[in-house]
Amino acid sequence: MPPRTPFPRICIALGFPDAETLLAHARSEYDDGERFFEFRLDYLPKPEQGVAAIRKFLARHTDCTIMATCRRHQNMGRFNGSVEEQLRILEAAMAAGAKAVDVEIESAEDCGPRLEALRSHAYVLLSYHNYGGTPPIDAVLRRMQRVPADGYKIVTTAKKPSDNFRVLEIARSCPKLDTVLLAMGETGFPTRVLSPGFGGIFTYAAPIAAAGTAAGQVSARLLRNLYRVEKISRGAKIYGVIADPVRQSISPAVHNRAFQARRCDAVYLPFLVHPVQLKDFFVLAEKLPLAGFSVTIPHKQKIIRYLDVVEPLARRI
């Protein structure tokens, strides 16, 4: 097995329909200071073109880490080949210089000894994706751990606020495992910021000038400069604003800049909470736990029923 070197906290997910565009975005991100990239070979009409792109990119940028992914269409990827062909492409990517490969659990369960051969040359990240919701996580983790790998990635879709904690708590309950833990969608955005602080080995970001490869991805520049992903500790205080919609709120920009100026170990997040999910939000608030949160439309009145104390003037207003 290759030496275990820590990955950077942010991986730029690059999925494009032609190799030149892939390389152009990788170079642009490199110039912006990024050094860890996922090359989605399955986005290319011929994944072999991605193998050549890895070799070409690393020839000039030797200080970078590339993870190769070639997800099959049966698992919401774009590669139409067999598992055998998928593994052959990933082996070629390793030979071209990729230090890590992502193999979805559905393929890995059919690999047997072939997966162990991959592990002798690169870091194998075993991945699970659920685009419909967040199922019982313990069952997912048990299934995955039956297949030996270097790290385990669990990505679900957050349908309600408490799904964020259900995903993040895996890192706390399994501190000896290398994990990547994320929930897709706007509701799951907090996991993209908090996962490394909870013990996940890294989070994913979209390239600055293009869409990401999953719902909810934002740029590394935003994760690093506004949310300070690389500096969030396990003991950081978590604050936020709850709203629907919440994307337009300037509160994260205001409060995170203030935390930065005061050198506070804290982060302020946007929490998308639909009107029918207010009670569920308090499950998340207790378990994270949240140190405090702001409330805006449409929850300003309904929030009162969940509060322990309401000042008379606030109630009148």
Which residues are catalytically annotated?
129, 153
Which helix (H) or strand (E) is 23 found in, with range? helix 19-31
What CA–CA distance (Å, rounded) separates 122 from 184? 27
Strand partners, 205: 12
What CA–CA distance (Å, rounded) separates 180 from 149? 13
Residue 222, φ and ψ in degrees, nearest 5: -70, -45
Contact 198, 171 (CB under 8 A): yes
Q: Is 312 exposed, middle or buried (0-12, 13-18, 19+ CB in 10 A)?
A: exposed
What CA–CA distance (Å, rounded) separates 16 from 39? 9
Contact 147, 106 (CB under 8 A): no
DSSP codes joined into one string, 135-197: --HHHHHHHHHTS--SEEEEEEE-SSTTHHHHHHHHHHH-TTS-EEEEEESSTTHHHHHHHHH
Side chain identity at 288, as an amino acid letter?
A: L
Strand partners, 63: none
Residue 238, φ and ψ in degrees, nearest 5: -110, 125
Side chain identity at 163, as an amino acid letter?
A: D
